[in-house]
Chain A
Amino acid sequence: MSALLDPRRVKQDFPIFANNPGLVFLDTAASSQKPNVVIDRVSDYYRHDYANVHRGVYRLSARSTELYEGARETARRFLNAADASEIVFVRGATEAINLVVQSWGAAFLKAGDEVLITELEHHANIVPWQLLRDRIGFTIKVAPVDATGGLDMAAFESLITPRTKMVSVTQLANATGALLPVEAIIRLAHAQGAKVLIDGCQAAPRLQVDVRALDCDFYVFSGHKTYGPTGIGVLYGKRAILNDMPPWQAGGDMIETVTFEKTTFQQPPARFEAGTPDISGAIGLATALDYIESLGRAAIEAHEGALTEYGMDKLSRIDGIRLVPAGQRRFGILSFAVEGIHPHDVATLLDGKGVAVRAGHHCAQPLMEKLCLDATTRASLGIYNDESDIDALADALKAAQAIFAR
């Protein structure tokens, strides 16, 4: 049975709502709230099973290691990766991208090469490449958005050349909610021999993701946006590619043998997880991913898709509200301008009504510049949102307009 999502029931799984009566939380794109199962799992783990991993001979450490590696297996299943060794635990998407840049990029990019990104990227998928470029001297090309706010695929295609070694793109733009055609992007990139990194921060919690069907080379997401703890995230990399990548941080756990003359390194994923990892974070994340699966990925996608449509319709009926263009398909994120009211004032006024939204450039300054906006107000959806949250947003927006209309 493909069950429908019941957001009222889901809301009861998230104690933040009982503890903040009246809270209308519409900032899941920044970070999601946490369900009881995740909060409880993390504290239960510390209460019952905690010890360092990969080190102790004693049973408690073995149990802890089993849970940590079990979390890796859960993440593998979540992405449908071929093997758990393709899952590297990191602090979050930012660290995952920096890992790829500093390990893969530093080893395989040289002057004359090109890295292709898009105007829709989060700073986390721009700045790490710039830092490495300044050291190595390759070129960063930027595929533009078209007039509809979607990725300009014709321009994108013309920018992929045999010099393109890496295409690093977001699957779902955090600033506008634009969904990118990653399947086509990956096909075009591979046809020119380029590797592809997909920034799945906003997509992983909302869409059904299958890295093998996508055939991307890297996929990254953050646990805290996926109903899991902060401080944990996932880098997926194809086994053969990870195998060829050098370590990026060094220390315990990532070595095979160490002498003062020469050190040999572990196979992936251990090679990329120097030091004691965020064990409880990984276990909490696995619980979050299981929780998502228990609701049903298809049900979540259908629910948030329908709610996005509802929100677009509702907002477009309010005079003076203009949705920021987001291409052919907008998903889970509603970014908009309110005529005559700066986004920061909008967000303060909405907060006065208990409606939590984000205002600002959403870590996408180049995109804002392109869209001729200093900032926008952004409402983003999660599994606990329903039509009543959108209605509350619309009412609060009208109240804000009334205050400014004086």
Chain B
Amino acid sequence: MESRDLYQDIILDHGRKPRNFHALEHPSHFANGHNPLCGDKVTVFLEIENNVIKDVSFQGRGCAISTASASLMTEVLKGKTLEEADKLFKAFHAGVTGGEVEAMPEVLEDDFERLAPLEGVKGYPTRVKCATLAWHAFEAALKSGEVGATVKTE
């Protein structure tokens, strides 16, 4: 696999100019993700109302892969129900770890497609955690609510 396939334009773009890159003032949920091995740090903020992700944002420091992944994640999660978000997470995780990806319901197909550029990391076992860090923080935020939490990936 060529480096250029991993570092596609969309990844470089989101790595340099991450979207939704700020804190939420009144998050209903948030969590910190930390990869102690490489020092990548991300905080994911959520505003959830009636089971729907009204708003989602993140802050942090990390490599292009982890920043782009967090950025793309916030884009696809906005407006999703928690069930839909969970489906996307599971499919994304399977995709980047080389697992079996379940077919997406039609409404999520486009969103899942947006995450496809990150699938390149499956050829780089040491980089998979960069791609999943924000998603693990998202999951931890859901569980811990407004008190926040910290997850580590190593």
Contact = CB atoms under 8 A, between A and B. Distances in A.
B114 to A, nearest CB: 20
Nearest to B2: A352
Interface string B37-60: 111110000000000000000000
Interface stretch (B6-14, B18-26, B104-112): B6-14
Contact of A361 (B16, B39, B62, B65): B39
B12 A375 contact: no
A344 B9 contact: no
B12 A406 contact: yes
Contacts of B130: 344
Interface in B32-89: 37-41, 61-65
A139 B38 CA distance: 30
A341 B16 CA distance: 10
B38 A375 contact: yes
Contact of B3 (A348, A360, A368): A348
Contacts of A360: 37-39
Interface string A353-385: 000000111000100100000110000000000
Nearest to B5: A352
A406 B3 CA distance: 13
Interface string A47-64: 000000000000000000
Contacts of B40: 344, 374
Contacts of B64: 341-342, 345, 404
B62 A342 contact: yes
* Size bracket, chain B contacts: 20 to 34
B122 interface: no
Interface in A330-351: 340-345, 348-349
B61 A374 contact: yes
Nearest to B13: A406
A361 B63 CA distance: 14
A183 B16 CA distance: 47
Q: Which of A342, A361, A403 has the most CB of B within 10 A?
A: A342
B13 to A, nearest CB: 9
A396 to B, nearest CB: 10
B44 to A, nearest CB: 18
A361 B38 CA distance: 7
B152 interface: no
Nearest to B8: A406
A270 B4 CA distance: 56
Q: Which of B2, B3, B37 has the most CB of A within 10 A?
A: B3
Interface string A68-93: 00000000000000000000000000
A348 B62 contact: no
B7 A359 contact: no
Interface string B103-136: 0000000000000000000001011001000000
A345 B39 contact: no
Contacts of B126: 348
Contacts of A361: 38-39
A399 B12 CA distance: 15
Given A342-B62, A360-B37, A360-B38, A403 B127 contact: no
B65 A344 contact: yes
A404 B13 CA distance: 10
Interface string A232-262: 0000000000000000000000000000000
Contact of B39 (A340, A348, A375): A375
A352 B3 contact: yes
Interface of B: 2-4, 6-7, 9, 12, 16, 37-41, 61-65, 124, 126-127, 130
Given A344-B130, A345-B64, A348-B124, 10 more contacts: A343-B38, A345-B65, A348-B127, A349-B3, A349-B7, A374-B40, A374-B41, A375-B38, A404-B7, A406-B12
Complex A-B, nearest 4 residue pairs according to Cβ-Cβ distance, in ascending order? A342-B63, A352-B3, A374-B39, A344-B63
21 contacts: A341-B64, A342-B63, A344-B127, A345-B64, A345-B65, A349-B3, A352-B3, A360-B37, A360-B38, A360-B39, A361-B39, A368-B39, A374-B40, A375-B38, A375-B39, A400-B3, A403-B3, A403-B7, A404-B12, A404-B64, A406-B9
